Amino acid sequence: MQFFASINIKPLEYPITYQDKILLIGSCFTEHIGNFLLEHKFNINQNPNGILFDSQSVASSLVSYIQNKKYSNADLFFLNEAWNSWQHHSRFSNPDKNVVLQAINQSQEQAHHFIRNADWLIITLGSAFSYKLVQGSSLLTGRGNEYGVANCHKAPAQNFIKHLNSIEEIVTAFDNTIYRLFHFNKKLKIIFTISPVRHLRDGVVDNNRSKARLIEAVHHLVNKFDRLFYFPSYELVIDVLRDYRFFDIDLAHPNYAATQFVLEKFTDYAFDSTTKTLLEEIKKIVIAKKHKPFNPDSVLHKKFMQQYLEKSKLLFASNPSLNLEEEIKYFLGGKE
């Protein structure tokens, strides 16, 4: 008896390797993929603006990396005892305006140089809804109204206009952005995926309308451009697993089991056998570093540390691009 719907995911024509540079941008589900890649020592840059949910914010942020846009005092606003940017996640917010600008512009600079030489861009879209500040709002400072709002920073709802972007609006935003990306970086390849996180605050009906528009827009783009690909994160959770036991208590976010299921499918989709073999070796070292010994001074533990020190050095010697410095340092001294 079959308990899961079957899904055929064609592997990437050009598999991702450990020599590749990967920029990830988008919703919170982006960070599940990004943290998986980071833990297993891929060369990544993840969400330079912080988490972004809507398609328009993702597209405009990518353009800002190409331009190496510099933010100034006029781009910030003060709310809830902190300076914030309408284009950035609250992880950049701080009571000190200079700290905010330094962090934002440093992240912009890193993203600009990274994407110029990146091999892959992974975009996870979460919502077709976008927000703009209401004309006359006391929070309408700087240039926030020119680009819409990527993050509402818990400001009162009456300050914003909520808009469900049409398929045409989403396609247009990314069509222009992709042309600029491919002109800026001739080798860049892009993977689109739709977040399986359900935006229940929009309501079940409007959440489904939003996801449907994202899916249709992305498939239009993938069919148009040669170096665009689609990975079905949304379909794996919503249609294959299809059960509330695979969601957290909020009934919106996929739980650990569902996330691991998607990551396993992503591994088969994105990597060839050589990369998967190397990933498994790295995984052993990463797990070993997390090991908490009962007796750190025992002969057995010292032997364990020496064994994994040698494995780490050997793996680094055969793969110099891997960043195993932290692991080698740990197994040498037994401290973080």
pLDDT band at 21 (very low <50, low <70, confident <90, very high): very high
Backbone angles phi, psi at 296, to 5 degrees: -60, -20
pLDDT tens, 227-275? 999 999 999 999 999 999 999 999 999 999 999 999 999 999 999 999 9
Alpha-carbon distance 22 to 74, whole Å? 31
Say yes or no to pLDDT of 31 above 80.
yes
pLDDT at 115: 97
Maximum distance among all Cα pairs of the chain, rounded to whole angstroms: 71
Query: Which of 236, 301, 231 has the alpha carbon at shortest distance from 262?
Result: 236
More confident residue, 161 or 2: 161
Which pLDDT band holds residue 146 (cuts at 50, 70, 90)? very low
What would the pLDDT profile of 88-128 be if each residue is shown by its tens digit?
Answer: 999 999 999 999 999 999 999 999 999 999 999 999 999 99
Cα–Cα distance measured from residue 265 to residue 232, given in angstroms and rounded to the nearest whole number: 9
Ramachandran angles phi, psi of 281, nearest 5°? -70, -40
pLDDT at 333 over 90: no
- C-alpha distances in Å from residue 281, one per residue of 21, 82, 278, 311: 20, 44, 5, 9
Query: Does 153 score more than 70 pLDDT?
Result: yes
Specify the amino acid at residue 43: N
Supply the pLDDT for residue 159. Answer: 85
Q: What is the pLDDT of residues 305-323, one digit of tens each?
A: 999 999 999 999 999 889 8
pLDDT at 28: 87
pLDDT exceeds cutoff 70 at 169: yes
Residue 217 has pLDDT above 90, yes or no: yes
Least confident of 26-40, 137-151, 188-202, 235-249: 137-151
Task: Say whether pLDDT at 136 is over 70.
Answer: no
Enumerate domains of the chain plus CATH numbers. 21-271 (3.40.50.1110), 281-333 (no CATH)
Contact between 156 and 140 (Cβ < 8 Å): no
Share of the chain above pLDDT 90, in %: 78
User: 39, 136 in Cβ contact below 8 A?
Assistant: no
Please give the pLDDT value at position 276: 96
